[in-house]
Structure 1
């Protein structure tokens, strides 16, 4: 039995569940209803309904809206669909294209949580008089000495805490994550127990609004200049060849550079969109000593002291590495690889998310040592 609002009986508690049409959020809705909460399901239509229907394996697509409605009917709760297409395009899709045009590596799922789901949807839940908003994210909300804390999920293979670093304390106070302490196998078992029509539905893959995972196509359509060819240069600026458009490359990439006759493999070190140049070099040139952050969100209580020892992740799949938090900058204890502007840098203390920010600028370990 799940306990969402301490000190208030479920029958007197109204819960809004963000239903994407997938198995995770469907199980959350079913668990809430089973526990006796007054449960309301809300699904956001985020992009073109017709195109979405044809996209398999996405979240918030047209077929998923239909699935969410079927689940709501099966468990006997009201279900509403809200049209957020314009807002999603402005705050997420356009931002995604702009970031690629700037030579960055964006994470649209974080922007979606930051702008649409955990801001506007949360406001809708409050307008409906709900006591909390529940989602199917794999992350834990635990109570600490100073209030609600954000922690990694117990199932480390499903943990989504990296994508929720921008959650504010006010939002965290209102949010609930019933699946944070469950492995995926248990969630699937609940779906079968409830007889949900999505019990065997595959997990969503790729970015929801990018057909077939081809980022370049959508960026080229929205920002044609990002697809223009230019020079490939080494660290000294010497021209080595031509690239087919910066949108096809990310920092750390090795394949697709297509420069022969080199003694050592070449990697993408950075992108220079103003000059339309792709800068390449040896693997050691990818080592990063520090990174400057923007839009920092801190959940670790008071403002962190200078030089606070933390563990940070610069990619969702990366293992946390030791670093120092110095103002709006993170300094790695050892050179970190695969760090790119536009990604998120998230700080942890054990399993607890302390905060994070967007990587704005990086400092090469080679330059730092010079």
Structure 2
């Protein structure tokens, strides 16, 4: 079996490739050049492991598929997660295609996740990784059956400390390399600054308003705010204020001083992808999360023509349009969608 491993030069992808080679697979490494940043550590990892190494130039595709979507979402008043988009269209889209075209059977990555073939349905299931603190299934929920059936996640049954221990044991240079934290094309975390530079314009100021539409002050551009935000608003109301919602058409940011207004039990999502089934049965009991770092909460699913409505047992804070809502049945990812808003 031939496996192409996506290499970044970090400890996770390097150990993933090492484990596959140790298990007897015919392993190669590959990296995509997406942002103009050199990735010498990826080549260094391949050299250390003594495996063939491929490099693919995909800056234009990345710009079109990921960065353009990122900018458009912010301009619509959403708060996107570009890593999810990159996974489905670039890593498990373009790179998986390159792997299969070059005679490989699978694409492997250093994601903390697992796949499993369901004997009854024949579907390839996506399961959470052993390391719950690092589990990345939230970022992978958009993968389809073709992508999942040709994917391998060698780190699924390991924890981060175990992976670093393996790396140290084999003398891997990246054993103690810090994990990347920011979006790869916005390394300083200044999303607004990036968008204004990318679009070549300054986003217009507009009004902060209350729920009745009364003007409270001036905001510095819609892209600088997200639902639930309290700090950095640049307005003093005499009491803590929160972003309740944004209106791209009116270029307004709605503020409130009662944090409970941010909580809702009913959250709607569209652009839905189901992994474990074609469509879940009405009233399916699941656990769900509406942000990557959030703990799951109990919910009931209602599939509609518009997407899926999740009715939570307990109110959830700051259902943010553009973020993903992902559903689980125990360890198994049922599917997910993009949050439209709370009801």
Alignment TM class, shorter chain as reference: over 0.9
Give 1:190's aligned residue: 166
* CA contact 1:25–1:135 (8 Å) conserved in 2: yes
Match 2:16 to one of 19, 28, 37: 28
Give 1:250's aligned residue: 226
Cα distance in structure 2, aligned partners of 1:308 and 1:277: 37
Change (3 A) 1:140 1:252: same
* CA contact 1:67–1:197 (8 Å) conserved in 2: no
Change (3 A) 1:78 1:233: same
Matched pairs, number = 336
* CA contact 2:16–2:154 (8 Å) conserved in 1: yes
Give 2:248's aligned residue: 273
Q: State yes or no: 1:83 paired with 2:57.
A: yes
* CA contact 2:319–2:341 (8 Å) conserved in 1: no
Post-superposition CA distance 1:202-249 (Å, at most 9, x none)? 111210000311111111123466721111000000111111112211
Post-superposition CA distance 1:249-308 (Å, at most 9, x none)? 11001112243344x521100111221111011212112232322221101224211121
Give 1:6's aligned residue: none
Change (3 A) 1:351 1:117: same
Give 1:43's aligned residue: 31
Gaps of 5+ in 1: 1-12, 53-61, 364-370
Give 1:162's aligned residue: 138
Give 1:10's aligned residue: none
User: Please, what is the CA RMSD of the aligned residues?
Assistant: 1.5
Cα distance in structure 1, aligned partners of 2:73 and 2:330: 31
Report the TM-score, using the length of structure 1 for normalisation: 0.87
Give 1:353's aligned residue: 333
Report the TM-score, using the length of structure 2 for normalisation: 0.94
SS in structure 2 opposite 1:356?
strand
SS in structure 1 opposite 2:84?
helix
Higher mean Cα deviation, 196-205 or 228-237? 196-205
Cα distance in structure 2, aligned partners of 1:339 and 1:157: 22
Higher mean Cα deviation, 143-152 or 314-323? 143-152
Give 1:107's aligned residue: 81
* CA contact 2:114–2:156 (8 Å) conserved in 1: yes
Post-superposition CA distance 1:150-185 (Å, at most 9, x none)? 111111111111111101122111111010110111
* CA contact 2:276–2:335 (8 Å) conserved in 1: yes
SS in structure 1 opposite 2:188?
helix
SS in structure 2 opposite 1:212?
coil
Cα distance in structure 2, aligned partners of 1:362 and 1:136: 34
Gaps of 5+ in 2: none
Runs of 4+ aligned residues of structure 1 deviating over 6 Å after TM superposition are none
Q: Which has the higher helix share?
A: 1
Cα distance in structure 1, aligned partners of 2:234 and 2:48: 54
Higher mean Cα deviation, 222-231 or 189-198? 222-231
Give 2:273's aligned residue: 297
Higher mean Cα deviation, 152-161 or 190-199? 190-199
> 5 Å matches for 1:310-321?
310-321=286-297
Q: State yes or no: 1:216 paired with 2:192.
A: yes
SS in structure 2 opposite 1:211?
coil
Post-superposition CA distance 1:103-155 (Å, at most 9, x none)? 11100000000110111111111112112111100011133333432111111
SS in structure 1 opposite 2:79?
coil
Cα distance in structure 2, aligned partners of 1:68 and 1:222: 27
